[in-house]
Structure 1
């Protein structure tokens, strides 16, 4: 059987097994092991545990559980609520300021926690009720939080980017820096739309009230004194200092990513103990348990995905597929469009972790051959995968929002995210037209390659 025919069979079997409802890690492991049994030497089965261990025994991957611990410590404390409340108070007089506050709170929390679900849960649990209380439509409120939560896989420390750095053999520090510019771009686009939509809903509410209708909460004036605003800062500033300190340690060359993750996790635990008095075992156990569960699940997916990729490489499936793509002689940008479209389709069914580890052996060689900067592509691919977090059928953030706001129909949540999907698509076009948005900061701080 030719490698391409074998690859087609490999893909079909994978789809069938995943559609059976089997967890992703086990599905990938079953497919890889089955093909090792039927198409590889019998002795290869004896190396499964060794291969999986060697693949996940990486110093870079060691940072993942530590970043998860840092995110869990912050996410399961009142830090998210306090961060949101402070930003809301300081932006209360800005038109559409409540929507902007939610976008900014999502961005800052994502940069501290590095997790999209944690960002949605922490900021959404406070932000969605507050927006609805202030008259925001349920779909709009849900859309802001769902889209803002996606920044967790783009802004450093991003677990998704850690895995891409491993799969593509690129500098993690440079990749983290490359995500900052696009992250700021998305924050600006999201905040701009939040202002536009809030002002539109405000005008509609004003017209209804002026015609004798019910007065919307949009029209109520909320005022925070300067003293009230200042009182909110002491609980927020320590976590912002932690964020800045971690970034300085990482990008200043003072610590490796793993050391930075360990330091960040330790300081996060110390801060929640000091600021929120969460130091007793019953306070610490929830986020320690969460860290263990999420880390084990993620590392198992990583191990099985890498075993899956190893089988593809051994059977020359990935090499043949890459050669086939190159042989099509597609133009540079058409090649990119085809690959990103494939990533979008995979995003209907798979989480970003699996997409990266399963597709990297196939898509990276043709992209490198076409002259694309793999750091730049990693960021663009991450933005595309962000879209996968908020579009059906398995957009993770949609279901997180549904969990924290069960009275909002899922159809309204989906409609609320559609404008943000269009903004992400616009951001991808801008990144293609102006690649310096991605490469400018890492080239400035780490030197051009």
Structure 2
């Protein structure tokens, strides 16, 4: 077994290091594993597995949610959200820095993408907050950290991928992400308050007081965003729609919003569709490669043997989770979040199930740890987005995001000590 693991690991590092697409790297590892370490016909297994991974009904939700995010990315939703939130933040310690946290949380609830959340909110908040004199490092740090909420707060693309890979309920995973998402928002906001109390001279003075009626008038701009969240998440939670049907509802609502805002024409529609096709094809290709690799791992017996080896170490569930946290963060330094999930699922699940860990809970744990890797160099996607927008050195941005890395680590500790944070809502919704 050790020889197989070494050969496959070296092959993966060589392929990924040479710039081979992740999907081809997965297919290559699977081919190598079956052809060199078993006597099973490799081509037959590859054909049947890729076909089987391509027609799953649950995957229909994926391009829908991506399309919804692409439409909203090109609308004025972020601008309206910023305008609606600003009047309510002036008296909170940290003031307008909270618009990054709350704004990213709201946009994450309708986009499902960390990179889209980072880019959309960054275009609006970086120039405005910098102009007002807010600390640049904290502006970048809050944006990098809060944008990762796009991976956790439903509808989340990576949760759909995890659900398909592990045959778990997408609806239950979506609902499970709500309270942990609110927990991370609270941790980020609490840190901003403590920081502003510690460095009051770095927080610009509050704007002139705004009458309550004016605040309410500006807040009307939040109604489309909140309506979209209620329409998508509410239909899933109440059982009125499956995640796939809710994704279609979200696309229709986002098209209507963009049209009402005057932000929809033929060119924007075409660009949104093209962006959706590109992203969806990339993810589907990775999932097909992952499915073949999963089959290959099964035939080589690496997952079961590795799980038995770790079980023989008699690690407690807490120790196992600690080891997996370090492993996923290191892996996330070199791969994007979806690739981390599909690469490791087949190997990790037997260990997790043997330790008696709930798979819905583990999915949320995995996503938060992957969020942490989104702001760690060299392959932190949010760092790349911010680097492209600001021209700053990626290590400078990573240093600004470091406090939020540790806040997410604290979030992992809290959901581990209090698993009901994750499991309460899925258990309350029953079998939807």
What interval of TM-score do these two structures reach, taking the shorter chain for normalisation? over 0.9
- Which of 314, 317, 333 is matched with 2:299 structurally? 314
Partner of 2:332: 347
Partner of 1:178: 176
**Aligned runs of 1:162-177 on 2, under 5 Å?**
162-177=160-175
- Which of 233, 248, 256 is matched with 1:247 structurally? 233
Distance 2:198 2:405 in 1: 19
Distance 1:256 1:220 in 2: 45
In the TM superposition, residue 141 of structure 1 has moved relative to its aligned partner by: 0.4
Residue correspondences, number: 432
**Residue by residue, what CA displacement relative to the aligned partner does 1:277-335 show, whole Å, maximum 9, x if unpaired?**
23321121121111111111111111112212221112222222222221222222212
Residues 74 and 263 in structure 2, CA contact (< 8 A), matched pair in contact too: no
Partner of 1:376: 361
In the TM superposition, residue 228 of structure 1 has moved relative to its aligned partner by: 4.2
CA-based RMSD of the aligned residues comes to 2.0
In the TM superposition, residue 50 of structure 1 has moved relative to its aligned partner by: 3.2
1:402 equivalent to 2:387? Answer: yes
**Residue by residue, what CA displacement relative to the aligned partner does 1:180-214 show, whole Å, maximum 9, x if unpaired?**
11111100010111222234443357xxxxxxxxx
Residues 4 and 320 in structure 1, CA contact (< 8 A), matched pair in contact too: no
In the TM superposition, residue 142 of structure 1 has moved relative to its aligned partner by: 0.4
Partner of 1:441: 425
Q: Give the 3 Å change call, closer, same or farther, for CA 34–261 of structure 1 in structure 2.
A: same
Distance 2:301 2:244 in 1: 33
Choose 1 or 2 for highest CA Rg.
1
In the TM superposition, residue 388 of structure 1 has moved relative to its aligned partner by: 0.2
Distance 2:406 2:397 in 1: 15
Distance 2:183 2:368 in 1: 11
Distance 2:248 2:431 in 1: 27
**Aligned runs of 1:56-135 on 2, under 5 Å?**
56-135=54-133
1:5 equivalent to 2:11? Answer: no
Distance 2:95 2:429 in 1: 33
In the TM superposition, residue 157 of structure 1 has moved relative to its aligned partner by: 0.7
Distance 2:293 2:163 in 1: 18
In the TM superposition, residue 347 of structure 1 has moved relative to its aligned partner by: 0.9
Residues 249 and 255 in structure 1, CA contact (< 8 A), matched pair in contact too: yes
Name whichever of 438-447 and 219-228 sits farther off. 219-228
Partner of 2:276: 291
Q: Give the 3 Å change call, closer, same or farther, for CA 278–135 of structure 1 in structure 2.
A: closer
Distance 1:145 1:124 in 2: 7
Partner of 1:269: 255
Residues 67 and 251 in structure 2, CA contact (< 8 A), matched pair in contact too: yes
Residues 78 and 120 in structure 2, CA contact (< 8 A), matched pair in contact too: yes
TM-score when normalising by structure 2: 0.94
**Aligned runs of 1:91-240 on 2, under 5 Å?**
91-203=89-201, 218-219=204-205, 221-240=207-226
Distance 1:51 1:369 in 2: 26
1:386 equivalent to 2:386? Answer: no
Q: Give the 3 Å change call, closer, same or farther, for CA 302–90 of structure 1 in structure 2.
A: same
**Residue by residue, what CA displacement relative to the aligned partner does 1:349-389 show, whole Å, maximum 9, x if unpaired?**
11121211221122111221222112112111211111000
In the TM superposition, residue 246 of structure 1 has moved relative to its aligned partner by: 1.2
Partner of 1:215: none
- Which of 398, 415, 427 is matched with 1:431 structurally? 415
